[in-house]
Protein backbone atom coordinates (compact mmCIF):
# COMPACT_ATOMS: atom_id res chain seq x y z
CA UNK A 1 0.00 0.00 0.00
CA UNK A 2 1.07 3.55 -0.69
CA UNK A 3 0.60 4.53 2.94
CA UNK A 4 3.02 1.80 3.97
CA UNK A 5 5.64 3.16 1.58
CA UNK A 6 5.28 6.64 3.03
CA UNK A 7 5.52 5.18 6.53
CA UNK A 8 8.76 3.46 5.51
CA UNK A 9 10.12 6.72 4.09
CA UNK A 10 9.25 8.60 7.27
CA UNK A 11 10.85 5.93 9.45
CA UNK A 12 13.99 5.99 7.29
CA UNK A 13 14.04 9.79 7.51
CA UNK A 14 14.52 9.52 11.29
CA UNK A 15 18.09 8.32 10.64
CA UNK A 16 19.44 11.50 8.96
CA UNK A 17 17.56 13.64 11.49
CA UNK A 18 19.43 11.83 14.27
CA UNK A 19 22.71 12.19 12.37
CA UNK A 20 22.11 15.91 12.19
CA UNK A 21 22.54 16.08 15.96
CA UNK A 22 26.11 14.71 15.75
CA UNK A 23 27.75 18.08 15.25
CA UNK A 24 26.05 19.79 18.18
CA UNK A 25 26.67 16.79 20.44
CA UNK A 26 30.34 16.78 19.48
CA UNK A 27 30.69 20.49 20.20
CA UNK A 28 28.86 20.47 23.52
CA UNK A 29 29.75 17.13 25.12
CA UNK A 30 32.79 15.44 23.63
CA UNK A 31 36.45 16.12 24.52
CA UNK A 32 38.23 18.35 22.00
CA UNK A 33 40.49 17.19 19.18
CA UNK A 34 39.72 13.45 19.41
CA UNK A 35 37.84 12.64 16.17
CA UNK A 36 38.98 9.00 15.96
CA UNK A 37 38.07 8.37 19.58
CA UNK A 38 34.62 9.81 18.96
CA UNK A 39 34.17 7.76 15.79
CA UNK A 40 35.30 4.52 17.47
CA UNK A 41 33.13 4.94 20.54
CA UNK A 42 30.19 5.73 18.34
CA UNK A 43 30.49 2.63 16.13
CA UNK A 44 32.04 -0.22 18.12
CA UNK A 45 29.73 -0.29 21.18
CA UNK A 46 26.69 0.01 18.89
CA UNK A 47 27.89 -2.96 16.84
CA UNK A 48 28.53 -5.08 19.93
CA UNK A 49 25.08 -4.21 21.31
CA UNK A 50 23.30 -5.20 18.10
CA UNK A 51 25.32 -8.40 17.73
CA UNK A 52 24.37 -9.44 21.27
CA UNK A 53 20.74 -8.92 20.30
CA UNK A 54 20.75 -10.85 17.00
CA UNK A 55 23.51 -13.41 17.76
CA UNK A 56 24.04 -13.87 14.02
CA UNK A 57 27.34 -13.94 12.12
CA UNK A 58 27.93 -13.44 8.40
CA UNK A 59 28.72 -16.40 6.16
CA UNK A 60 30.79 -16.88 3.04
CA UNK A 61 31.39 -13.74 0.98
CA UNK A 62 29.55 -11.65 3.52
CA UNK A 63 32.61 -11.61 5.74
CA UNK A 64 34.50 -9.42 3.25
CA UNK A 65 31.39 -7.64 1.99
CA UNK A 66 30.55 -6.62 5.56
CA UNK A 67 34.07 -5.25 5.96
CA UNK A 68 33.88 -3.25 2.71
CA UNK A 69 30.47 -1.84 3.60
CA UNK A 70 31.58 -1.27 7.19
CA UNK A 71 34.57 0.78 6.07
CA UNK A 72 32.55 2.84 3.56
CA UNK A 73 29.39 3.39 5.61
CA UNK A 74 30.97 3.45 9.06
CA UNK A 75 34.77 3.48 9.33
CA UNK A 76 35.83 6.04 6.74
CA UNK A 77 32.57 7.95 6.99
CA UNK A 78 32.70 8.35 10.77
CA UNK A 79 36.38 9.30 10.82
CA UNK A 80 35.87 11.98 8.16
CA UNK A 81 32.61 13.09 9.75
CA UNK A 82 34.25 13.80 13.11
CA UNK A 83 37.24 15.53 11.52
CA UNK A 84 34.72 17.82 9.82
CA UNK A 85 32.71 18.21 13.01
CA UNK A 86 35.78 19.34 14.97
CA UNK A 87 37.05 21.71 12.28
CA UNK A 88 33.84 23.27 10.92
CA UNK A 89 30.73 24.87 12.44
CA UNK A 90 27.94 22.34 12.75
CA UNK A 91 25.67 23.56 9.98
CA UNK A 92 28.50 24.09 7.52
CA UNK A 93 29.97 20.65 8.15
CA UNK A 94 26.69 18.86 7.54
CA UNK A 95 25.72 21.05 4.61
CA UNK A 96 28.53 19.64 2.45
CA UNK A 97 26.38 16.52 2.28
CA UNK A 98 24.05 18.44 0.00
CA UNK A 99 25.82 17.02 -3.04
CA UNK A 100 25.12 13.46 -1.89
CA UNK A 101 21.75 12.94 -3.65
CA UNK A 102 23.28 13.79 -7.02
CA UNK A 103 26.28 11.55 -6.38
CA UNK A 104 24.00 8.66 -5.37
CA UNK A 105 21.69 9.24 -8.33
CA UNK A 106 24.64 9.14 -10.73
CA UNK A 107 26.05 5.96 -9.16
CA UNK A 108 22.60 4.33 -9.03
CA UNK A 109 21.98 5.08 -12.70
CA UNK A 110 25.27 3.39 -13.57
CA UNK A 111 25.29 0.40 -11.24
CA UNK A 112 21.65 -0.15 -10.19
CA UNK A 113 19.91 0.82 -13.43
CA UNK A 114 17.78 3.41 -11.68
CA UNK A 115 16.72 6.15 -14.08
CA UNK A 116 18.20 9.62 -13.74
CA UNK A 117 14.97 11.43 -14.61
CA UNK A 118 14.78 15.19 -15.21
CA UNK A 119 12.91 15.61 -11.93
CA UNK A 120 15.56 13.72 -9.98
CA UNK A 121 18.28 15.85 -11.54
CA UNK A 122 16.35 19.08 -10.93
CA UNK A 123 15.62 18.09 -7.34
CA UNK A 124 19.32 17.31 -6.84
CA UNK A 125 20.32 20.71 -8.19
CA UNK A 126 17.74 22.31 -5.91
CA UNK A 127 19.31 20.53 -2.95
CA UNK A 128 22.74 21.85 -3.91
CA UNK A 129 21.27 25.35 -4.34
CA UNK A 130 19.58 25.17 -0.95
CA UNK A 131 22.66 24.10 0.91
CA UNK A 132 24.74 26.66 -0.96
CA UNK A 133 22.45 29.42 0.25
CA UNK A 134 23.12 28.27 3.79
CA UNK A 135 26.88 27.84 3.41
CA UNK A 136 27.51 31.10 1.58
CA UNK A 137 25.79 33.02 4.36
CA UNK A 138 27.83 31.44 7.12
CA UNK A 139 30.01 33.95 8.98
CA UNK A 140 32.37 31.32 10.35
CA UNK A 141 35.77 30.67 8.78
CA UNK A 142 35.81 27.60 6.54
CA UNK A 143 38.72 25.26 7.27
CA UNK A 144 40.04 23.58 4.09
CA UNK A 145 40.85 20.26 5.78
CA UNK A 146 37.40 20.22 7.37
CA UNK A 147 35.76 20.84 3.98
CA UNK A 148 37.78 18.03 2.37
CA UNK A 149 36.84 15.67 5.20
CA UNK A 150 33.15 16.54 4.85
CA UNK A 151 33.29 15.98 1.08
CA UNK A 152 35.18 12.69 1.52
CA UNK A 153 32.63 11.47 4.05
CA UNK A 154 29.81 12.30 1.67
CA UNK A 155 31.43 10.33 -1.16
CA UNK A 156 32.23 7.37 1.11
CA UNK A 157 28.64 7.10 2.29
CA UNK A 158 27.25 7.47 -1.24
CA UNK A 159 29.38 4.59 -2.53
CA UNK A 160 28.50 2.50 0.52
CA UNK A 161 24.78 3.06 0.03
CA UNK A 162 24.85 2.03 -3.61
CA UNK A 163 26.95 -1.06 -2.86
CA UNK A 164 24.63 -2.04 0.00
CA UNK A 165 21.68 -1.78 -2.37
CA UNK A 166 23.45 -3.71 -5.14
CA UNK A 167 24.55 -6.57 -2.87
CA UNK A 168 21.24 -6.84 -1.03
CA UNK A 169 20.87 -8.08 2.52
CA UNK A 170 21.45 -11.75 3.48
CA UNK A 171 19.74 -11.34 6.86
CA UNK A 172 17.65 -8.84 8.80
CA UNK A 173 18.66 -5.15 8.87
CA UNK A 174 19.46 -5.63 12.55
CA UNK A 175 22.07 -8.29 11.71
CA UNK A 176 23.62 -6.57 8.69
CA UNK A 177 23.83 -3.32 10.64
CA UNK A 178 25.64 -5.12 13.47
CA UNK A 179 28.19 -6.58 11.03
CA UNK A 180 28.93 -3.25 9.40
CA UNK A 181 29.21 -1.40 12.71
CA UNK A 182 31.61 -4.03 14.06
CA UNK A 183 33.74 -4.04 10.90
CA UNK A 184 33.85 -0.26 10.79
CA UNK A 185 34.37 0.04 14.54
CA UNK A 186 37.30 -2.40 14.60
CA UNK A 187 38.89 -0.57 11.66
CA UNK A 188 38.50 2.68 13.54
CA UNK A 189 39.98 1.13 16.67
CA UNK A 190 43.18 0.30 14.77
CA UNK A 191 43.36 3.84 13.41
CA UNK A 192 42.73 5.21 16.90
CA UNK A 193 45.58 3.21 18.45
CA UNK A 194 47.99 4.13 15.65
CA UNK A 195 47.10 7.80 15.12
CA UNK A 196 45.64 9.14 18.36
CA UNK A 197 46.24 6.66 21.15
CA UNK A 198 43.98 5.91 24.06
CA UNK A 199 42.68 8.85 26.13
CA UNK A 200 44.85 9.89 29.05
CA UNK A 201 42.14 11.83 30.89
CA UNK A 202 39.04 10.23 32.46
CA UNK A 203 35.70 10.97 30.85
CA UNK A 204 33.40 13.51 32.43
CA UNK A 205 29.71 12.78 32.90
CA UNK A 206 28.99 14.95 29.85
CA UNK A 207 31.50 12.98 27.77
CA UNK A 208 29.91 9.70 28.81
CA UNK A 209 26.37 10.74 27.98
CA UNK A 210 27.49 12.31 24.71
CA UNK A 211 29.15 9.09 23.58
CA UNK A 212 26.21 7.00 24.81
CA UNK A 213 23.70 9.12 22.90
CA UNK A 214 25.71 8.97 19.67
CA UNK A 215 26.27 5.22 19.95
CA UNK A 216 22.75 4.09 20.89
CA UNK A 217 20.41 6.56 19.20
CA UNK A 218 22.65 8.25 16.66
CA UNK A 219 24.14 4.98 15.44
CA UNK A 220 22.46 1.72 16.47
CA UNK A 221 18.88 2.94 16.08
CA UNK A 222 19.59 5.27 13.17
CA UNK A 223 21.48 2.72 11.08
CA UNK A 224 18.94 -0.06 11.60
CA UNK A 225 16.28 2.29 10.22
CA UNK A 226 18.60 3.40 7.42
CA UNK A 227 19.55 -0.08 6.21
CA UNK A 228 15.95 -1.24 6.44
CA UNK A 229 15.06 1.62 4.11
CA UNK A 230 17.91 0.71 1.73
CA UNK A 231 16.51 -2.82 1.48
CA UNK A 232 13.07 -1.64 0.33
CA UNK A 233 13.49 1.76 -1.34
CA UNK A 234 15.38 2.92 -4.45
CA UNK A 235 18.86 4.22 -3.64
CA UNK A 236 18.16 7.57 -5.31
CA UNK A 237 15.19 8.26 -3.01
CA UNK A 238 17.22 7.31 0.05
CA UNK A 239 19.87 9.78 -1.03
CA UNK A 240 17.44 12.68 -0.89
CA UNK A 241 16.45 11.79 2.67
CA UNK A 242 20.07 12.37 3.69
CA UNK A 243 19.51 16.10 3.05
CA UNK A 244 17.51 16.20 6.27
CA UNK A 245 20.75 15.83 8.24
CA UNK A 246 22.18 19.27 7.36
CA UNK A 247 18.78 20.87 7.91
CA UNK A 248 18.59 19.36 11.39
CA UNK A 249 22.18 20.40 12.09
CA UNK A 250 21.78 24.04 11.14
CA UNK A 251 18.43 24.44 12.91
CA UNK A 252 19.88 22.89 16.07
CA UNK A 253 22.90 25.16 15.80
CA UNK A 254 20.56 28.14 15.67
CA UNK A 255 18.19 26.96 18.42
CA UNK A 256 20.73 25.58 20.90
CA UNK A 257 24.20 26.92 20.10
CA UNK A 258 23.15 30.46 19.21
CA UNK A 259 24.45 30.36 15.64
CA UNK A 260 23.12 33.18 13.45
CA UNK A 261 20.46 32.10 10.95
CA UNK A 262 19.76 34.70 8.26
CA UNK A 263 16.74 35.10 6.00
CA UNK A 264 18.73 33.75 3.05
CA UNK A 265 19.66 30.66 5.06
CA UNK A 266 16.00 30.13 5.89
CA UNK A 267 15.24 30.24 2.19
CA UNK A 268 17.95 27.62 1.74
CA UNK A 269 16.31 25.38 4.33
CA UNK A 270 12.96 25.68 2.52
CA UNK A 271 14.60 24.85 -0.81
CA UNK A 272 16.28 21.78 0.71
CA UNK A 273 12.99 20.54 2.13
CA UNK A 274 11.34 21.05 -1.26
CA UNK A 275 14.16 19.05 -2.82
CA UNK A 276 13.55 16.19 -0.38
CA UNK A 277 9.83 16.23 -1.18
CA UNK A 278 10.42 16.24 -4.94
CA UNK A 279 13.15 13.62 -4.89
CA UNK A 280 11.88 11.21 -2.25
CA UNK A 281 8.35 11.70 -0.96
CA UNK A 282 6.68 12.05 -4.34
CA UNK A 283 8.28 8.86 -5.60
CA UNK A 284 7.19 6.52 -2.83
CA UNK A 285 5.15 4.18 -4.99
CA UNK A 286 6.25 1.35 -7.17
CA UNK A 287 9.38 0.36 -5.26
CA UNK A 288 10.56 -3.21 -5.18
CA UNK A 289 11.97 -4.57 -1.92
CA UNK A 290 15.37 -6.22 -1.94
CA UNK A 291 15.14 -9.92 -1.30
CA UNK A 292 16.57 -11.27 1.91
CA UNK A 293 18.90 -14.05 0.93
CA UNK A 294 20.06 -17.24 2.59
CA UNK A 295 20.04 -17.12 6.36
CA UNK A 296 23.60 -16.99 7.76
CA UNK A 297 24.96 -19.11 10.55
CA UNK A 298 24.24 -18.35 14.16
CA UNK A 299 26.66 -18.20 17.03
For the chain, the structural domain boundaries read 2-283
Written as tens digits, the pLDDT of the chain (299 aa) is 456 878 888 999 999 999 888 878 988 899 988 889 989 999 999 999 999 999 999 999 999 999 999 999 999 988 887 787 677 765 565 566 678 888 898 899 889 888 888 888 888 888 878 877 776 655 555 677 878 888 888 899 999 999 999 999 899 999 999 999 999 999 999 999 998 999 888 999 999 999 999 999 999 999 999 999 998 888 888 889 988 887 888 788 888 877 777 888 888 888 888 998 888 765 544 444 444 444 444 44
CA angle 148, 133, 147 (to 5 degrees): 10
Strand, helix or coil for residue 296: coil
pTM of the model as a whole: 0.84
CB 79 within 8 A of CB 157: no
Buried residues in 255-280 as b, exposed as e (16+ CB within 10 A): eeeebebeeebbebbebbbebbebbb
Nearest CA to 299 out of 59, 44, 46 is that of: 59
Strand, helix or coil for residue 277: helix
What per-residue confidence (pLDDT) applies to 147? 80
Give Cβ neighbours of residue 26 (< 8 Å, ≥ 6 apart).
38, 82, 85, 86, 210
Amino acid sequence: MLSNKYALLLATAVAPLLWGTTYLTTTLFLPPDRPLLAATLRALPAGVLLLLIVRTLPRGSWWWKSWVLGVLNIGAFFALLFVAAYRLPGGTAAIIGGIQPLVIALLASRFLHERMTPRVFAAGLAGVLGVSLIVLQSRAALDSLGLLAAAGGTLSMAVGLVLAKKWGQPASPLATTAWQLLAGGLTLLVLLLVCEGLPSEPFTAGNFWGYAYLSVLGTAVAYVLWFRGIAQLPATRIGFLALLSPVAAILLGWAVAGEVLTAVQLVGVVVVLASVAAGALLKAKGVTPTRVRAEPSRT
